[in-house]
Amino acid sequence: MMRQYELLERVQRYNPQADEGLLNKAYVYAMQKHGSQRRANGDPYFSHPLEVAAILTELKLDDSTIAVALLHDTIEDTDATRAEIDVMFGEDIGRLVEGLTKIKRLDLVSKKAQQAENFRKLLLAISEDVRVLLVKLADRLHNMRTLQFMPENKRGRIAEETLEIYAPLAGRMGMHDMREELEELAFAVVNPEAHGAVTTRLAEIRIRNQGLIAEIEKDLSEKLEKNGIKAKVYGREKRPYSIFRKMERKAISFEQLSDIIGFRVLVDTTGDCYAALGIVHTTWPTVPGRFKDYISTPKQNDYRSIHTTVVGPGRQRAELQIRTHDMNAVAEYGIAAHALYKDKGNGNLSDESRAYTWLRRTVEMLAEGDTPEEFLENTKLELFHDQVFCFTPKGRLIALPRGATPIDFAYAVHTDIGDTCVGCKLNGRMMPLTTELKNGDEVEIVCAKGQVPPSAWESIAVTGKARASIRRAARAAIRKQYAGLGRKIVERAFERAGREFSEDRLKAALPRLAQQNIEDMLASVGRGEIPSANVLKAVYPDHKEERAAPPKTGGNGAVEAGWFGLKKGSGMMFRVPSGDPADASHAIPIRGLHGDMPVRFGDEGGAVPGDRIVGIMSPGEGITIYPIQSPNLKDFDDEPDRWLDVRWDIDAANRERFPARIEVVAINEPGTLAQIAQVIADNDGNISNLRIVKSAPDFSEMAIDLEVWDLKHLNRLLSDLRERHVVSSANRVNG
């Protein structure tokens, strides 16, 4: 275990003015608090925070961050408190240590939800101070280095979490060396067979190409020196996990990989980068399609480099990365190497830094209402992907994950653009919204006011932001429908009770209904979660309900058509329609499937304008509409609270078809079905479904689901069907 003076010496090598008192105090405090605690391998527990601090000294981090590394487990695993750390080390260090502390006593059922909630807390802390991330990644790296001492049933979960979250997060922050080590350690645990196979093949190639890397290094160095460019050239093999991922992503074999050997060329200036590129391309043939310039177009994590692949000595393909020494420092250590971070000596990155952009956007999603599991899923989506770069018509550069569509592009520009998107132009041509974007595409989004993104877009979108926004827009639209229905139900309940309806009174009654705002309360009524009688009682505690006898039903369970009386429905008094339009003034208007309320029609038979109808409230589903003669209404005889008084409200300017089912018995001969379909088409009907219910040698019985304008339209269609000689009978099914 590292001694106190050894840690101090490591810090003083890169920071001679280190705060010796702070580091010594943190060392002693953490050692005393962890006391006799032991790790799984039997070492004193304090060896872990000490090793985390040692990892961070390799990144040359400030004194406060090293102190936080020493203290990072004290609140979580000892009797130390945030208040005590604030007093001894200052509020700044106390805040960082608390940001690294997992949430205890989470009242969550699933392990996944607990993991997600802790990840949310961590990202919020990181967004306030990036040093939280640096300590967390060093903490995870040391835990992975000692994973073999953990119980076997925990190793897989920890390794998977590392591959899914922490390694990609390190990559997003530009810390590629740490990302690669985390990936390798996790890969060996998650998929030991694949790790072993790739490692074995790499060893074989290493023996076969012995001396080749040194030869290419020498040739390249001499060429550059001869042309007056001072450069450091060194070769390396790709890591096993990087090779495995590429094989999986591109569905290729090991032999098809072209860049197992890679070389880095480090020069002094940006101009030297392009000069070196010219020398390389005029010396060896290039591999088409393998050139990328991340200097002119940096990645979002500040990564800058030129990538190219050439066919070098021995006909060996080799990938070259050409960059300056400063670019290389950022490429390896990311935000930990960022000059702005080091100069200021605090955890705040300037707005000039691109490395923090993704994280800030991700944290913004936290405040937009996703569940912890959804947030974690959306974050993982963005962590994994390589990028493509596209442009707006005005030349703004938009970086997106590989495989992204114009839908992702629209949401990347602005959430409102995504929500109102109806089409797109790619490079001046109208293209489907499902088109996969490519590097350099110019994307123009076509928008329309009042558009709501279809929920099906969620399966098309690639970015977490787009998926979360689509999900929220769909929820908002559904919530608006339920709130609209709830308002109508409550207004009519107040009207029937002879009480004044006002939002001010509703607002005052919200605490009694355990609701935060009127919109939520009305949506709950619309979903059937809160009876309108409860709302009435909350606003007017002195109100007394009047109850009435239930409706009479015929022998088949249908409500008798002539019945007219009072009935309690969803906590309000209402009339079952009697056919008299004057009595429909209190009924809820039903426009159709595409109206402003959550409405569906009974699965067996539907309902059409002209039918007398009844609404049945289904919690979480809205209103189901049945014709008053439907035998299915008998299922709700014992649930009077679910009955609603409804009426048709047809918009003459925007006609809409409605569902109805008919039963046709026809002669079983060739051409019968064609004749039936022709009659329906001639009568402007639309077949949405057809099935043969019964088939005999002479006759077939079929059920046909139609879409018609109204009851007159349906009756005319049935009449014409009956006139055909192939049709024995045609009748409506009353569902």
Q: Are 55 and 48 in contact (CB under 8 A)?
A: no
Mean pLDDT of 130-150: 89
pLDDT of 357 reads: 60
Take residue 218 and report the two structure tokens written for it: 């020498």
Element (H, E) at 486: helix 464-496
Q: How confident is the model at residue 594 (pLDDT cuts 50, 70, 90)?
A: low
Handedness of CA 244, 247, 250, 256 (dihedral sign): positive
Apex CA 717: angle with CA 591 and CA 584, to 5°?
Answer: 30
Average pLDDT over the chain reads 80
Q: Are 56 and 132 in contact (CB under 8 A)?
A: no
pLDDT of 266 reads: 94
Q: Are 625 and 600 in contact (CB under 8 A)?
A: yes
The yes-or-no answer on residue 373 being catalytic is no
Take residue 120 and report the two structure tokens written for it: 């949310």
Higher local confidence (pLDDT), 616 or 564: 616
User: Is residue 513 helix, strand or coil?
Assistant: helix
Rounded Cα gap, residues 732 and 721, in angstroms: 12
Q: Are 282 and 339 in contact (CB under 8 A)?
A: no
Take residue 414 and report the two structure tokens written for it: 């602005």
State the distance between the two ends of the chain, measured CA to CA, in whole angstroms. 78
pLDDT of 376 reads: 64
Nearest Cα to Cα of residue 583 among 484, 499, 496? 496
Residue 735 has pLDDT above 70, yes or no: no
User: Is residue 178 helix, strand or coil?
Assistant: helix
Q: What is the pLDDT of residues 327-345, one digit of tens each?
A: 988 888 777 665 334 444 4
Residue type, 121: K
Handedness of CA 342, 346, 350, 353 (dihedral sign): positive
Domain boundaries, the chain: 4-193, 194-340, 465-653, 658-733
pLDDT of 559 reads: 43
Higher local confidence (pLDDT), 410 or 163: 410
pLDDT of 74 reads: 92
Residue 107 has pLDDT above 50, yes or no: no
Which DSSP category does 166 fall into? I
Nearest Cα to Cα of residue 445 among 413, 482, 467? 413
Residue 289 has pLDDT above 50, yes or no: yes
Residue 697 has pLDDT above 50, yes or no: yes
User: Of these residues, 19, 58, 76, 293, which one is catalytic?
Assistant: 76
Take residue 67 and report the two structure tokens written for it: 């102190």
Q: Are 190 and 160 in contact (CB under 8 A)?
A: yes
Residue tagged 């502390």 (tokens):
101
Q: Domain spanning 658-733 has what CATH number?
A: 3.30.70.260
Higher local confidence (pLDDT), 697 or 320: 320
Nearest Cα to Cα of residue 420 among 469, 465, 352? 469
Which DSSP category does 79 fall into? S
pLDDT of 152 reads: 84
pLDDT of 568 reads: 35
Q: What is the pLDDT of residues 598-632, one digit of tens each?
A: 777 887 778 888 888 888 877 766 788 888 888 88
The answer to whether the 194-340 and 658-733 domains have the same CATH topology is no
The yes-or-no answer on residue 76 being catalytic is yes
Q: Are 262 and 320 in contact (CB under 8 A)?
A: yes
Take residue 724 and report the two structure tokens written for it: 């055909």
pLDDT of 475 reads: 78
- At the second CATH level, the architecture of 194-340 is 2-Layer Sandwich (3.30)
CATH superfamily of 4-193: Hypothetical protein af1432 (1.10.3210.10)
User: Of these residues, 77, 184, 519, 701, which one is catalytic?
Assistant: 77
Give the range among 20-24, 265-269, 581-585, 661-665 with minimum mean pLDDT: 581-585
Q: Are 159 and 144 in contact (CB under 8 A)?
A: yes
Mean pLDDT of 411-422: 91
pLDDT above 90 as % of the chain? 24
Enumerate the H helices of 90-229 as residue ranges: 91-99, 111-128, 131-145, 152-161, 167-172, 176-190, 192-208, 212-226
Q: How confident is the model at residue 314 (pLDDT cuts 50, 70, 90)?
A: low
Mean pLDDT of 426-435: 92
Residue 584 has pLDDT above 70, yes or no: no
Take residue 628 and report the two structure tokens written for it: 């008053």
pLDDT above 70 as % of the chain? 81
pLDDT of 24 reads: 92
Residue tagged 């022998």 (tokens):
555
What phi and psi values does residue 518 have, to the nearest 5 degrees? -65, -40
